Amino acid sequence: MVLDLIESSRIEFKIKMVDNLEETIIAFLNSKDGGIIYLGINDKGKIIGLNGNLDLLQRKVKDRIISNIEPSALGLFDLEILEKDNKKYLKIIIARGLEKPYHIKGMGMTSDSCFIRVGSSNEKMSDYLISEMFKERTKNSIKNIVSPNQNLTFTDLKIYYKEKGFDVGSNFEKQLNFFTFDNKYNYLAYLLADENTISIKVAKYVGTDVDELMENYEFGYCSLIKATNRVLEKFRVENKIFTKITYPERKEQPMYDYNAVREVIINALVHNDWTTEYPPKFELFSDRLEVSSFGGIQSEFTEDEFLEGYSAPKNPELMRVFRDLKLVEHLGTGVRKILKKYNKDVYHFFPHFIRVSIKYNQNQFEYDSGNKYHIDFKGLSKIQEGIIDLLLDDSTLTQLELARILGVGERTIRYNMKELIERNYIVRIGSNKTGQWQIVIK
C-alpha cells in the first residue's frame, strides 16, 4: 500500500525512528506551516509498518521532543497511530512554533542546532536568520507576561488533571510552564488559577441586535477551564430541540449543531489573544449565535489557509492544557469540524478579531400537518409526549384507543392523562361520551 502523498516542505517519511529525528521536528517548528512526519513509511510513500510496542514508541518520541528541543514544544505536536492493510505506522504532527528559532537543547542558537525546511530537506539556518527569528520571539506572549497577582492557587485545575488520570506532584506548576524566566507566575498561570479578574460572559438578547439585553450570564473570575465548561453547558442548555413523534419513530432537530458550536467556543478561548486582556464574546440573538475572539488571523496565514486548518496555536502552553484535559483533540482539526456542518461564510475576519456567526435552524416540523403546533415537551415522559401527539391528530381518541396505539395498558394511559390534566397540557371539552380533548398551547 502506497500513501497518496510525496515528501515535500510539509511531509517527511521515515522507515523507523532515527537519530536525527529532532532535526526534522525543529525544521518544521521553524517553518511557516509546520509539517508531518510519518514513521514506518519509505521515501516512496510505501507503508513498511512498525513492529513492537507502538505505545512505547510514542512515549519515546514524546520524550525526545520534550527533552531535546528548546524552547519547549509542548502543545505544538501530536502523535497518532494509524493502520492500513494490517500495517501500523506513526503520524507525528508538528505545528509552526511561535518562539523561533527552535534548536537542539544544550547547543545554543547556532547554525549547527537550528534547522529550517527547504523543499523536502532540512538545512542549517544562517546566523542572520537566527538573529531575525530571535527578535520576533521576544514579543509578548502569555508565558512571558507577569501575572498581576502572585498569590495564585490551582485547586480546580489539579482536580481536572486528577480526573484525567494525571499524577499531580510538586512539579505540577513548573511542568505547565507557569513561571517567567525570573521565576514569577506568568499570565498563563493567572488564566488557569482558581481566582482571577477575567470576566467571561454569555449575553442573550431579545431580538436580532444588541438594543435589548434579556440576560447576561457571568461565568468568569475563575480557572479558564472551569469557565470553559460553564460556557459549554450554557450553550448546550440553550440548544432547543424541535420534536415530532410519528410512531414508531421520534424525529428531532436541534436549533444548532452543538458539537460544531462546541469547537467554535473552545477555539475562541484557546486561541484568543490574551495579551490584550480582552476575553472572547459569546452572544445569543433571536436568530443566531455569535462568538468573537480577539487577535485576528496570524500575519503569516491567509483566510483560505486558516479555513483549511493551517494555523499555529497562538497560546501553545494553553493549548497543551486543553489537550491534556480532552477539551481539544488533534492539532488543526477544530476549524475542519466546524466546516463539516456549516459553510465558510459563518467566519467573518477583521484586523483585530475573528467572529463566527451561526444562524439557528428553523423548526421544520412547525407547519407539518402531523405537528400543527409547537409543544414544549420538556419534563414529559415519552408516553405523555405520545398522547399529546396523537390527540393533535385526533382529539376524539378514547383512553382505550390511546392504550392500543401506544402499546401500553389503559391504567398507564389514565395515570399519564391525569398528570397531563393537572399540569395543564390537556383539558376535556364536553362529556366523557361525546366530548373531545383540547391541547393547551404553551
Terminal CA-to-CA distance of the chain, rounded, Å? 61
pLDDT score recorded for residue 357: 98
Residues in Cβ contact with 357 at an 8 Å cutoff, skipping those fewer than 6 apart: 288, 289, 290, 346, 348
Ordered by start, the domain boundaries in the chain are 11-138, 201-359, 382-439
User: Is 201-359 in CATH node 3.30.565.60?
Assistant: yes
Residues in Cβ contact with 43 at an 8 Å cutoff, skipping those fewer than 6 apart: 7, 13
Tens-digit pLDDT profile for residues 203-242: 999 899 999 998 899 999 999 999 999 999 999 988 887 6
Q: Domain 382-439 class?
A: mainly alpha
Give the β-pairing of 281-284 and 201-205: parallel
Mean residue pLDDT across the chain: 88
Q: Shortest CA distance to 180 belongs to which of 317, 320, 322, 69?
A: 317
Give the β-pairing of 288-294 and 347-349: unpaired
pLDDT score recorded for residue 441: 61
pLDDT score recorded for residue 367: 46
pLDDT score recorded for residue 392: 80
pLDDT score recorded for residue 372: 45
Pull the grid cell for residue 136: 520576533
Residues lower than pLDDT 50 in the chain: 247, 367-372
Find the angle CA(262)-CA(264)-CA(9) to the nearest 5 degrees: 120
Pull the grid cell for residue 86: 494490517
pLDDT score recorded for residue 249: 60
**Which CA distances in Å does 253 have to 221, 283, 376?**
35, 22, 14
pLDDT score recorded for residue 376: 63
pLDDT score recorded for residue 138: 59
Fold match between domain 201-359 and domain 382-439: no
pLDDT score recorded for residue 442: 53
User: Is 11-138 in CATH node 3.40.50.2300?
Assistant: no
Q: Please state the pTM of the whole predicted model.
A: 0.62
pLDDT score recorded for residue 308: 80
pLDDT score recorded for residue 6: 87
**Which CA distances in Å does 140 have to 35, 70, 187, 294?**
25, 18, 11, 15
